[in-house]
Structure 1
Amino acid sequence: MQYTTLGRSGLHISRVCLGTMNFGTDPQTPTPETEARRIVDAFLDAGHNLIDTADTYRGGTSEEVVGRAIARRRADVVLATKGAAPQGAGPNHRGLSRAHLTRALEASLRRLGTDYIDLYQCHVPDPDTPIDETMAALDDFVRSGKVRYIGCSNFTAAGIVSAQWAAQHIGGTPFVSLQANYSLIARAIEAEIVPTCQRHGLGILAYSPLGSGLLAGRYQRGTAPAAGSRLAQWAAMPSPMARAFVTGLLAERHFDIADEVAAVAAELGTTTPTVALAWLRDRSEITSVVLGPRSADQLGANLAGLAFELPESVSTRLNAASHCTISPPVNGQHHAA
């Protein structure tokens, strides 16, 4: 089992992170609680320790399911969650203000059934709140013992620098991690964000490693996403940005990359997800790869993919095929995990 420290910290995490966006209690949820518990147990039994959720996943029920699933093994888990998403209709029930984050943290602690969170993350930037206020509030959470480490998700390079400077200015706690969209079809973070994270002590947790399913062969060139699929749901949203994300994701260049991945998989006698995950695991700039399995069987297949060894010549070929691709933005940022 491989572990590494998260950014400029002493927190040891597995090179694989379990993402739990699919966990919930609604009958229509992709992963009901019984299967979610199987996934969590299999993940921990395999020696991995980082589990990530968010207060907005499945209306908060993802946190409830995760909390119950890890209750007996809490000390073995590096538990991560996120705050910022709307938790009510009022203007102070969203964002990164002290007012909202304080309520959001307390609500997450209740749903998770724990008295501390190992990694508390700002889910998205908040242009309406001074970053000094956000970092001061997060520092207070750490000093209170309710949070051990802090991180961010979907921040720009400039946003990361501003946050770290604000933390230094108040003598507070800096970010140790960034969650970012990263895969063979989404390499935009390499230009500015990766160097910024390395300079300012943030580890990178890569979400959507299979390009929202495109690199797993779930979508076909020239064919509308199947009814009930994640992309079909996004395309049906009233938000123009959500629809733009789908259009951008299904760009011809991304299908060209997916075709190259499929060709490599055929030559190596393996699957396209295996090739995509193995390529990502070999990226030295990535601290941990966030998997979002819907079943224990899918988790097993993904873990096997991350253990697959790609020949160096294949990695070079994939690098060339996917170089300088740009992931489509949502709300001015890469799509949130």
Structure 2
Amino acid sequence: MTPYRQLGRSGLHLFPLGLGTMQFGWTADEATAFDLLDVYHAAGGNFIDTADIYTTWTPGNPGGVSEEVIGRWLRARGRRNDVVIATKVRGPMGERGVEGRGSVHQREGLSRRWIMQACEDSLRRLGVDHIDLYQAHWIDSQTPIEETLAAFSELVQRGYVRYIGCSNYSAWRLMQALWTSDRRGLEAFVSIQPEYSLLSPTRANFERELARVATEYGLGVIPWSPLGGGMLTGKYRRGQPLPGSVRASENAARRFSEQNFDTVETLVAVADRHGAHPAQVALAWLLAQPGVTAPIIGANSVGQLRELLGTLDVQLSADDLAEISRVSDWERARTELER
């Protein structure tokens, strides 16, 4: 049986791979989403991550669609007590160009007014009476951190939220929040959801400072984009044309570098030795890093999801981990740039 991992110092224990649901209502229709949730739950998965803004960038989508799909699945399957529901607040709600940013009643941010409204809206869409992990999607420089944390604390006191976390915070912003919670006696973040993968400079952005803060203060780490927008699956190779996909033209080219291609080639070699897939090796490496609780994976098909769940059967040796760490080391990238 796959051991569950404690999220920081909270009372939440998570399956080692979280299921991201940004694709629900975007690149995966509702029937596919139900299949993905069924397969994930049957494998022992209990950590479902979403956000209120998923996916406002899709034409005709005002946000909240992913939450609504999850809510219908929870009701249809009766699984509320089996899962940890995590969602986020901060981004602009309303179809792009229709309402949201700049409207009279601003529907975004981390003010007390919007947090209270957004939480009620998420609870309604999810069809639940509480959210297990409510996260600040990213900072709101227009709102004092004291106001944000006081609003989160009130939600916890009302029973609407069990724990709070943050996503996309820099180390100093995270320290500011933790210090404010301690000084004011407010609820504190129990987790950080950063972009973290083997790719450079993504790995450096987390490991330089955020990793130390998370470890020192006992925050759980639940990385998003652990496969670097698909690059660590091995589908992008040095000197080969881009495959056709929704993300290829948008995200792939900016990740191309000699070091990142070296990392992909190493993942392929290690995967071949284990009879595994490069994506599984990349996730297994991440799961071996200090403080990491559960990388958040996404899939558009049951086949993709089953492959990623196979990560938990991959046992990397110390030599494997060292080899992967060495080729993707961000200090190496900096040294090469300085030459």
TM-score class normalised by the smaller sequence: 0.7 to 0.9
1:44 paired to 2:41: yes
Q: Choose from 113, 119, 130 the match for 1:105.
A: 119
Map of 1:306 onto structure 2: 312
Letter in structure 2 aligned against 1:48: G
Contact 2:259 2:327 in 1 (8 A): no
Aligned partner of 2:279 in structure 1 is 273
Is 1:66 paired with 2:99? no
CA–CA distance in 2 between the matches of 1:155 and 1:231? 26
DSSP 3-state at the match of 1:261: helix
1:320 maps to 2:334:
no
- Comparing 89-98 with 67-76, which one deviates more in the overlay? 89-98
Aligned equivalents of 1:33, 1:42: Cα separation in 2: 14
Partner of 1:240: none
Q: What secondary structure sits across from 1:198 in the alignment? A: helix
The CA distance in 2 between the partners of 1:60 and 1:250, in whole Å, is 33
**Mean CA deviation greater in 129-138 or 269-278:** 269-278
2:233 alignment counterpart: 216
Q: Is 1:297 matched up with 2:303?
A: yes
Aligned mate of 1:139, from 148, 153, 161: 153
**Which residue in the other structure is 1:288 paired with?**
294
**Aligned counterpart for 1:256 among listed residues 258, 262, 265:** 262
Q: Give the distance between the partners of 2:15 and 2:272, measured in 1 at CA.
A: 30
Deviation at 1:252, TM superposition (A): 2.6
Does residue 117 of structure 1 match 2:131? Answer: yes
The residue number in structure 1 matching 2:27 is 30
- Residue 302 of structure 1 and its aligned partner are, at CA, apart by 0.6
1:76 is aligned to 2:82: yes
Extract unaligned runs of 5+ from structure 1: 236-245, 328-337
User: Which letter maps to 1:291?
Assistant: I
Query: Which segments of structure 1 move beyond 3 Å, counting only runs of 4 or more?
Result: 220-228
1:259 aligned partner, one-letter code: E
| In 2, Cα distance between equivalents of 1:325 and 1:95 | 36
Query: How far is the alpha carbon of 1:227 from its aligned partner?
Result: 4.5
Letter in 2 for 1:157: A
Instruction: Answer yes or no: is 1:197 the counterpart of 2:201.
Output: no
1:40 CA drift (Å): 1.0
Residues 222 and 131 of structure 1: CA distance in aligned 2, closer, same or farther (over 3 Å): farther
Partners in 2 of 1:252 and 1:76 — Cα distance?
44
1:54 and 1:326 map into 2 onto residues whose CA distance is 35
Pair 1:307–1:267, CA change in 2 (3 A): closer
Kindly report the root-mean-square deviation, in angstroms, between the aligned alpha carbons of the 2 structures. Answer: 1.9
**In 2, distance between residues paired with 1:269 and 1:16?**
20
Q: Do the aligned partners of 1:141 and 1:147 also contact (CA within 8 Å) in 2?
A: yes
Q: Cα distance 1:113–1:312, how it changes in 2: closer, same or farther (>3 A)?
A: same
Structure 1 residue 111: Cα displacement: 1.2
- Identity of paired residues, percent? 43
Q: Are the counterparts in 2 of residues 70 and 77 from structure 1 also a CA contact under 8 Å? A: no
Comparing 260-269 and 180-189, the one that deviates more: 260-269
**Higher mean C-alpha displacement, 213-222 vs 126-135:** 213-222
- Counterpart residue number, 2:176: 162
How many residue pairs get aligned? The number is 312
How far 1:66 moved relative to its partner? 0.9
Q: Is the 8 A contact 2:215 2:290 kept in 1?
A: no
Unaligned runs of 5+ in 2: 56-62, 94-99, 334-339
Compared CA separation, residues 325 and 302, structure 1 to 2 (3 A) = farther
CA shift in 2, pair 1:247/1:96, >3 Å: farther
Which amino acid in 2 is paired with 1:166?
T
- Tell me whether 267-276 or 168-177 shows the greater mean CA deviation: 267-276
Aligned-residue offset at 1:297 = 1.9
